[in-house]
Structure 1
Amino acid sequence: MKWIAVRPICEHLGLHISAQMEKLQQDDRFNCAVIRMVAEDGKDRETICLNQNELLGWLYTINPNKVKAASRPLLLAYQKETTQAIHDYWTAGQATRPNVAPPHLADPELVGRAALRHVLEELDSNAARFERIEQRLDETPVLGTQLGKIHALGQQLGKLVGFRRAWTLFNNRFGLASYRDLPNREYEAALQFLRHQIISYGGNVPDRLL
Structure 2
Amino acid sequence: MNTQISTKTISFYGSELITLKVGDVIYTAVKPIVEALGLSWGTQKRKLIEQKEKFSWVHMNSTGSDGKTYEMLCMPIRKLNGWLFSINPEKVRPDLKDRVIKYQEECFEALYNYWFKGKAEREIDTITPEEQRMIQNAVTATHQRTGMSYGEIWSRVKNKFGVAKYEQIKRSDHHSAMIYIASMPIVNQPLLINGRNLEETLSVMVELYGYCLHAYEMQEKLSQHPDLADRIDSKIGGQYLHNLRHPLENAMTKAKRFIRNNSEKLTIIKAVDHLLN
TM-score, length basis structure 2: 0.28
Instruction: Kindly indicate whether structure 1 or structure 2 has the higher relative contact order, using CA contacts under 8 Å at least 6 residues apart.
Output: 1
Larger radius of gyration: 2
Higher strand share: 2
